[in-house]
């Protein structure tokens, strides 16, 4: 396996991490929606925390994306 081939495989593996973060973000919004449907009056007050949770879980997925970009565009072959 050449170095370039290994780099591309590594970038592809890093992109799997982005898919895992998608599960996390979906979990955050799904839990919020489930709770909001049970108690709609309390939903508007918790919207701030919804976006904080979204930001935190999205950040980890974006870090996986950054690893892929680093491998593709920054590592010198």
Give contact residues for other proteins (rule: CB under 8 A): 48, 51-52, 54-55, 58-59, 62-63, 65-66, 73
Q: What is the DSSP letter of 74?
A: I
Closest CA relative to residue 27, chosen from 64, 1, 57, 61: 57
Q: How many CA atoms lie within 13 A of 69 on its CB side?
A: 7
Query: From the CB of 3, what's the least distance to other proteins, in Å?
Result: 21
Which residue, 36 or 72, is less far from other proteins as judged by CB?
Answer: 72
Task: Dig out the tokens for 43 from the structure.
Answer: 């939903």
Which residue, 34 or 73, is less far from other proteins as judged by CB?
Answer: 73
Query: From the CB of 26, what's the least distance to other proteins, in Å?
Result: 14
């Amino acid at each position: 396996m050449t170095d370039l081939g290994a780099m591309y495989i590594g970038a592809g593996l890093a992109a799997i991490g982005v898919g895992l973060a998608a599960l996390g973000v979906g979990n955050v919004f799904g839990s919020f929606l489930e709770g909001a449907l049970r108690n709609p009056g309390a939903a508007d007050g918790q919207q701030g925390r919804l976006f904080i949770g979204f930001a935190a879980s999205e950040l980890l997925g974006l870090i996986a994306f950054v690893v892929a970009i680093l491998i593709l565009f920054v590592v010198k072959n």
